[in-house]
Amino acid sequence: MGGRAQVKIIGNPDLADLAVQRVEHLEALWSRFRPDSEVSTANQDAGHPVAVSGETILLASLATRGQVLTSGRFDPLLGLSLAQLGYDRTFCEIGTSTPRSPVDLPAATVAALCIDAEAGTITVPSGHAFDPGGIGKGLAGDLVVANLLEAGADGVLVDLGGDVRVAGAGPTEAGWLIAVEDPLTEGAELLRLHLTDGAVASSSRLRRRWQQGAEERHHLLDPDTGRPSDNSVVGVSVVAANGWQAEVFAKDALLAGPRGAIAALEAQDVEGVVVLDDGRHLRTAGLSVLT
């Protein structure tokens, strides 16, 4: 999932192995950089139904749900645009390879995954590619936490590349202490909160940047243009009940721009902080009571 992962377990420490297995299993199912993953198979066979696991059915269902909830601003089918912009391999490999030349991007079109839960198949529409990206990390956190609690853990924290999901007992009565990073200043924090059951996810266009010809690219694409967003929002962190929701709504707010970001978060009944390129922070009501 393109980042570090940490799991903290209250209770049985032997469950750590299970956590690693589950994360690796989900990575093997959903990575678009592994040719044998279910997502890659579905993309290669776009336009045709592909048999996938229950986890991938759930991922596709929630991705489509996120697309509907955000009126299309969260679009999980921009994988082809990302690849054409140069993000067609793991980010580590981009950093060591020759910069790609710019390409003519296709016009963005509205499309959706076709999911047949009974048959256990998904169909990626032709001319598109499913990119689980952030929602994959968020949902993986949700699933791993649930698995570990079912296996007997008293409490769990799963941190997948900065997407944090907690549930069950915490190390203190107040829960797990989560710090939210300031995307503009390395090492600085925007806020801290004790979370007992829920998720915090962050998204920023200042990370995952690469050079394509003379142009600098980043991975957060505007579905209206198929190009990297260029509004003044540089980062969004969201507190939500689940990891997948936090990821979807962070992207939604980031693409909504400075005037629509807070309204987008409040419309979904989640809390969040929006960082603008001039250093200003905008917060939803629940996160601004102390400022």
Partner 1 sequence: MTHIHPLVAATGSTPFQLWAIGVAGVVVYARGPGREAWRRARDRRLHPARLARFTAVIMTVVAGAVIVTGMAATTKPRPVRPRAVVATVVDLDRAERRASFVLYDPVPGGADQLSPDALSGASY
Kindly list the residues in this chain that would bind partner 1 in the complex (CB under 8 A).
1-4, 6, 8, 69, 133-134, 137, 157, 159, 161-164, 170-171, 174-181, 183, 189-204, 206-208, 219, 235, 237, 239-242, 245, 268-271, 286-287, 289-290
Residue closer to partner 1, measured from CB, 214 or 289: 289
| Nearer CB in complex with partner 1: 110/188 | 188
For partner 1, give the closer residue by CB, 121 or 202.
202
23-43 burial, b if ≥16 CB within 10 A, otherwise e?
bebbbebbbbbeeebbbbbbb
How near is the Cβ of 275 to partner 1 at its closest, in Å? 10
**CA dihedral sign of residues 75, 163, 244, 255:** negative
The residue to which tokens 């999932």 are assigned: 1
Residue closer to partner 1 (CB basis): 2 or 125: 2
CA distance 273 to 283: 4
The smaller minimum CB distance to partner 1, of residues 104 and 192, is found at 192
Q: C-beta of 48: minimal distance to partner 1 in Å? A: 29
Q: Which is nearer to partner 1, 46 or 218 (CB)?
A: 218
Report the residue number, 121 or 203, with the smaller CB distance to partner 1: 203
**What is the spatial distance between Cα 274 and Cα 118, in angstroms, rounded to a whole number?**
40
Q: Report the sign of the C-alpha dihedral through residues 227, 80, 3, 113, in that order.
A: positive
User: Least distance (Å) from partner 1 to the CB of residue 104?
Assistant: 26
Angle between helix axes 133-150 and 243-267 (nearest 10 degrees) is 120
Picking from 221, 213, 265, the residue whose alpha carbon sits closest to that of residue 239 is 265
β 176-181/189-195 pair status = antiparallel
DSSP-derived letter for residue 152 is: T
Structure-token match 């409040």, residue found? 266
Q: How far is the CB of 101 from partner 1 (least distance, A)?
A: 25
| E strand or H helix at 131 | none
Give the torsion sign (CA, 102, 106, 108, 113): negative
Minimum gap (Å) between residue 49 Cβ and partner 1 = 26
